[in-house]
Amino acid sequence: MKAAIIRPLVVLVFLAQPLQLPGQASMPEPNWDRARALQTIDKTDSQARLKPLFQLARTGRNAELLGALSAIGLDFTMAAPAKDYLVFSFTLGLSDLDADAVNSEVLEFLSHYKARTLVGHADHADTAVPLFNVRAAAAGVQNRWGRQKAAARAEALLQGPADEWVLAYLTADPTGRRGFNDSLGFATPDQLRVLGQAALSQLDEHPELTQVTALTAMETGDTELLNQAITKGGGPELSRILEAASRKLSIDDRIDLLGHSMEQSSDTKAALAVAHLAPSLLDEPMVREMLFSTLADRKLGAAAALVLGASADPEIKTRLSEIASAKSGLEGQRAALAIGTRRAEKETER
């Protein structure tokens, strides 16, 4: 009788356990309270321990540095949070050193460092996350150094044919391309003009050159080149380019760019131009009229309505209300959309 009762209970206990497939690692659980971990770190003189690590890094003594980093994990006088914080702080500090200040073995050690201090996620307390993510910090150092090296290479290539610079840019990875873009800040106006034309000549075949073309255009004040970069180019960087243009260009150049984009570019690009350029130009009568006349446009009317609706200008609000009341069709609908957008924003702010 007792055996008959126990067997079902055993089965129920087994079924209640989380199912773990063969070879599947169990999810780690938090092993430290965040506040207590930080208090533990405060009791450790981390600066005194960091100084010799950076001395080894600056003098290129990689083997000794790797040994010192490994020894931190074996130091029984330090609590786990202090160990993680020490390695994390050292990793972040590498960003301030010259590129490749330490060798690949040291970076490999940091990239695979296993955090000992796991705390609950801010939004999901049962989910464990490293209090100090050394691996992420190591990835950041590598990206920063890769970008610096690419910028140095690109700056050297500026002395040669522009086509070689463009080819090197196209073959670089995303981090390298950011470094190449950084180098444009050190180019002369003549170098920028030649490079901009070289990039433009290949823009149809390589839309990833949009950012280079646009950056050289803005640096040299070549609005025609900028118009062509936006009209012919594309890609995820286009939004950032237009945002930068809204800050760097003069009012007249911004108006010209907005008008050109709305007339010559695709609907998607034109909508982006309206979203980035128009808000700062609503005090200009020409732009204001352009947006109101666009409300009835089937493709760009919604973009114009969002910009007008976000304005706090009493004249714009009154005109939108009049259109919403008097006009039928798309124009009236878009004006009503603009008014509704403004109301929704006010309720969100409360």
CA 250/CA 275 separation, integer angstroms: 17
Domain of residue 225, residue span: 189-277
Q: 129 - beta bridge partners?
A: 119
Same domain, 112 and 36: yes
The predicted pLDDT at position 286 comes to: 94
CB atoms under 10 Å from CB of 2, counted, come to 6
Does residue 253 surpass a pLDDT of 60? Answer: yes
In this predicted structure, what is the pLDDT of residue 342? 65
> Using CA atoms, how far apart are residues 283 and 286, in angstroms rounded to an integer?
9
Q: What is the pLDDT of residues 72-87, one digit of tens each?
A: 999 898 999 999 999 9
Question: 50-62 burial string, b = 16+ CB within 10 Å, else e?
Answer: beebbebbeeeeb
The verdict on 75 and 107 lying in the same domain is: yes
Helix axes 162-171, 189-201, angle to 10 degrees: 60
> In whole numbers, what is the pLDDT of the chain averaged over residues?
88
Query: Which range among 147-161, 165-179, 260-274 shows the weakest confidence by mean pLDDT?
Result: 260-274
**Pairing, β 118-120 against β 128-130:** antiparallel
Residue 69 lies in a domain: yes
| 3-state DSSP of 27-68 | CCCCCCCHHHHHHHHHCCCHHHHHHHHHHHHHCCCHHHHHHH
For residues 250 and 331, membership in a common domain is answered with no
List the structure tokens of 228.
Answer: 């062509």
Domain assignment of residue 161, yes or no? no
| Residue 19: predicted pLDDT | 40
Looking at the structure, do residues 136 and 71 belong to the same domain, yes or no? Answer: yes
SS3 sequence, 167-195? HHHHHCCHHHHHHHHHHHHHCCHHHHHHH
| pLDDT higher than threshold 70 for residue 16 | no
The confidence score (pLDDT) of residue 250 equals 94
Any domain includes 87: yes
Write the DSSP string, 217-248.
HHHHT-HHHHHHHHHH--STTHHHHHHHHHHH
Within this chain, do residues 231 and 300 fall inside the same structural domain, yes or no?
A: no
Q: Using the 3D structure, point to which of 224, 256, 277 is the last residue of a domain.
A: 277
Q: In 10 A of CB 157, how many CB atoms?
A: 19
pLDDT digits (tens, 9 = 90+) for 199-225: 999 999 999 999 999 999 999 999 999
- Whether 255 contacts 274, CB under 8 Å: no
Percentages (nearest 5) of helix, strand, coil residues in the chain: 70, 0, 25
Question: Rounded to a whole number, what is the largest CA-CA distance in the chain?
Answer: 96
- Do 292 and 265 fall within a single domain? no
What the block records as the tokens of 103 is 């060798």
Give how many domains the chain has, as a whole number. Answer: 3
Q: Is 250 exposed, middle or buried (0-12, 13-18, 19+ CB in 10 A)?
A: exposed
149 lies in some domain: no
40: in domain: yes
- Region 29-34: mean pLDDT is 85
Instruction: Say yes or no: 253 and 316 in one domain.
Output: no
Residues 312-336 have pLDDT tens digits of 899 999 999 999 998 778 899 999 9
Residue entry with tokens 């610079």: 165
| Residue 60 backbone zone (phi > 0: left; psi -120 to 50: alpha; other: beta) | left
- pLDDT-derived band at 291, boundaries 50, 70, 90: very high
**Of 343 and 73, more confident:** 73
Which pLDDT value is given to residue 20? Answer: 43
Percent of the chain with pLDDT over 90: 75
Residues 68 and 96 placed together within one structural domain of the fold: yes
Given 277, 304, 325, the domain boundary residue is 277
pLDDT digits (tens, 9 = 90+) for 117-171: 999 887 777 788 899 999 999 999 999 999 999 999 999 999 999 999 999 999 9
Domain membership flag for residue 173: no
Share of the chain above pLDDT 70, in %: 90
- Out of 6-10, 49-53, 108-112, 329-333, pick the least confident: 6-10
